[in-house]
Structure 1
Amino acid sequence: MQQSHNFIYPSMVAIETLYQKYLTTRSVTIDSRHFAPGALFFAIRGPHFNGNAFAAEALAKGACYVIIDDPAYARPSSAYILVKDSLATLIQLAGYHRSQYSPLFPVIAVTGSYGKTTTKELIYHTLQTTYRTVATKGNLNTSIGVALTILSLQQDTQIAVIEMGASQLGDITLCCNLARPTHGMITAIGAAHLEGFGSIRGVIQGKGELYDYLYNTGGTVFLNTLMPLLSRISRQFNQPITYPQPSDFAPLELVGEKPYLHCKTSEGEIFATHLLGKAHIHNIAAALCVAKYFNVPTATAHAAIQAYVPTNQRMQLVIKGSNQLIIDSYNASPASVQTALDALLQLKVPYRIVILGDMADLGSQTTAWHNKVVEQLCQPHYDRVLLCGPFLTLAAHQRPHTKMYCFPNKETLAVYLDRHTFQHSGILLKAAHNLAMHTLAERLKEP
C-alpha cells in the first residue's frame, strides 16, 4: 500500500486522535445492518464472520469512519482507519472515554448467573424517571457490549447501568477495569456457564471478581440477604446496601402470583407487576433498593416497576385464543428452567404443556442437569412434555413416560406442532437462545 492512500496505521494513530473523531458523532457500532448515520463502524472479527468485509457497506450506509484491522479491505480514503486490532482499539477507546468522567461518576455493574438482564432493565426503568440514565442494550454484556455501553455515555448522562456477563475467569475483571464501576451487585450464583468455569466454585470466583474490584476501589455493594452464599462472599464489606428482608435497607415481600407477581412494601403498600415467576421478586427488590439508595421517590419507583413489561422472549405471557403461552427462550439454565416451570404452574388453566429444548454451557454436568429436569417433568402437574435436543432426549430415554415426546431438533418438533392442536392450555416455550424456540409459537393452533 502506498502512503498516498491516506490510511492511518497503528503507529500513526493515537487513541486521542481517534477519540476526537468519535466526539464528532458520539455514536459507535459493530453492526453494519443497524446504526445511526455518522457512526464509527468497528470491524470486529468473530468465529463465523469477518467485520472487515462489511466496511464498505457501512460507509455506503452513512458511517463516517470505519476502523478495520485487515489491509485487504482498505481503500484509498481517509474514511478507512487501519489498526492492528479493531476489538482492542474499541476497548481502548471506551476506556479513554470512561476516563473523561469523574472516578465518582456513578456506574452500577450488574452480574450474576441469572436474573441480571431483568434486574438491569428494572434498575434502568426506575432510575431513568429521575436521572439521565444509560444502560446496556439487551444482553450485550461481554467486554464488547460493555465498551459499546460506555461509548453511549453522553455529556449530560448522570448514571450508567452496565450488565456484565462472564463465561470464564477474568471476564468480570476485564469488564470492571473497562467500566470502572462505583456500585455493583451480583444477582445470584448458580449452575451456568460451567463449561468455562468448570464448577460452581469457579462460578463463585468468577462472579466474585466484581466484589473484589469494588472492595479494592472503595465501591458500594447492593446485597441480597436472602442468598447466604452472597452474604458469605461479601463479608469484606462493612456496610453493604441490603434487600429485601424486613430489617434490610430496602424490604420487599412477595404476596401473590395472579399469575403476575404482587409485592408488598414495608409500609404495607401492595403493587402489581407484569412479571411471571416468583424468582423475579429478587430482581424487583434489587431495583427498588438501588432506586431508594439514589433517592428516587418511592411512588415513582413503584410506578416504573408496575409499567415494566418484559420483552425479547423473557418470560412473556402471550394470549393466543384459549391458550396462554409463556415464551422464555432467551436462555436456559437449570435455575431459569425452574423459574419458568414454577410460572407455568401459576396459570389458571385445565392443561399444561411443556415445550423444552436443551440447556447450554453446562460442561461436564450437562447429563446430570438434564436428568434432573426430566425427573421433575415426570410429575403429574404437566399434561404433555415435548423435549427437543440430544441431551433431553437421552435423559428421557432413561425415564420413559407416556406423556413425553422427544425430537432430535426444532424442525421435527415443528412438524409435530403442525399436526396437533391445543386449547385451554398453558404452554411453556423454553430453550437455550440458539434454538430460537420462540419461533414455534406461530405453529401452535387450536382445533
Structure 2
Amino acid sequence: MQSFLDLKPQWPDLVGSSFRIEGHYAILVRDSLRMKNCDLPFKASQPIKLLGNSKVIEVSGRLAKEMTSGKLYFEVEQVRQLPTDLQTMAERERAITRGTSKQWYELAEWAGPRGKFYSDEELIERANLANRKGLNLERQELKELTFKTLRTLTSRISELGLEDSLRLDWLHESYWLEWEALQKSAPQVDLTAEDIDLTKDPMFQFLNRLANDLSGAKTRITDVLPLLANEYRRNPVLTYHNASDAKRRTLERLFYTEVATAALARVTKPDGRNGSEIANRIDELIPDQHELAEKHRDAELQFMARNSATLTRTQLGDLVQRCRDRKQSNLAKEAITRWLARREQSLRKDGVTGLIQLSDERLALLQDQPGAGALLLEALQLAPRNEDVLERLKELGYQEVNGQWVAPQLNPAAPNIPMPVVNDTELERFIR
C-alpha cells in the first residue's frame, strides 16, 4: 500500500493501469472496500467475501475513473485474504531462527515501517526485537571485540531506533575496553620536563571524551553506597549493565574519578614541585577529592622549603606567607633557616657589616635572640667599639660584665627583656 500511495500524484495518468496492492482494509460493505490510510474507493462488480479475522488482503485490479463525476476509484478484480502481520512476522522469525544478522535486519526493515504505517505498536516492538537480535548476532560475529569495533556497533543503535539504555550500556563497555588498553599503551610522561602539556596527554584526552559522552561523568556525587562502589570495582561492565538509570549516572562518575586520579598521578612530579598545579586540577576535575588536593599543596610547600636556599627574597616571602596561610609554621621556619644558611655563606665575606645584617635577619625572620646575639658577639671581636653592634647587643639584653658581654639568660641581674614582636612590615623589610 505504501508504494501505491507514493504514486498518488501520478494516479490521473495511470488510469487503466493494473496493480496488485497488499494492505489492511478498514471497511467492507458488500462490493465496496476502504483500505486503511487510503481515501481511494475500491469497488468490485460483485460482493466481496472474506472469511478469516485477518484484515490483511491482496487486491488485484486497475485504476479507473467515474464517467460522470470524473472521480478516481480502484476497480477490484480479485481479493485474496492473507495472514495477519504478526502471523507473517512469526513465520519469518521461525524461518531465520539460526539466521544471520543481515536476515534479522531485513526482517526489521519490513516490520518497522509497516508497524508505523498501520500504528501497530506490537509490530513495531517485534521489529525492534529483530534489530536487537541482528545487532547481538553481529557482535558475536566479530573476529575480535575491541573498543573500536564495539563503538562502531554502538553508533548504529540509534540508527536502528533501539533504546538509548542499550546504547549507553555498550558505549560504557567500549570506554572500559579503551581504558584497559590505554593503561598498557600510554607512553610514559617525561617528569623532568619543565612544563607538561596535558592537552596532548592521551589519558587527559580520554578523560575529556568520557565527560562528553557519559552524562554522569561530570556530575558531582556526595554519598555512594560502599556496596555499589565495590561491585563496580570488581566488575564494572556487568554492574553498569544491571544498574538503573540513576545508578548508572553514579557509576559514570566513579569511572571518571578513577581515570582523572590516574591521569593526574602520572603527571605528578615525585618531589612535589608541581603540587599546586595538580591540586588545582583536582579541584577542577574531581572537587569531591579536595583532601587529596590539599596533600599536593602541602607536598609543594615541603619541596619549596627543602629548596628555599635557592629562592630570591621575594620568593621566600611568598613561601613564608603561604606556609602561614596553611598554618605550617614549622615549614616556614625550615625554609627561613635554609635560606639564612645560604645567606650566611655570602654575607660573612662582608665582615662586620655582613654579620650585623645576618643578625638582623635572623632576629626578624626567626625571632632567634641567642643566634642573633652570637653573630653580634662575633662581629664585636672584629670591631670592639662598633656602635651598631653595641647598640644591638643592649637591645637584646646583653650587659658588659668585667669586660665581657653576657647574654641575658646568663646574667641573673639583667632586666627581663621581652621578645621583639615582628610585624608584617618589618618582616617584609628584611625579606624583600
The two structures share one fold, judged by TM-score above 0.5: no
More strand by share: 1
Greater Rg, structure 1 or structure 2?
2
Greater relative contact order (Cα < 8 A, sep 6+): 1
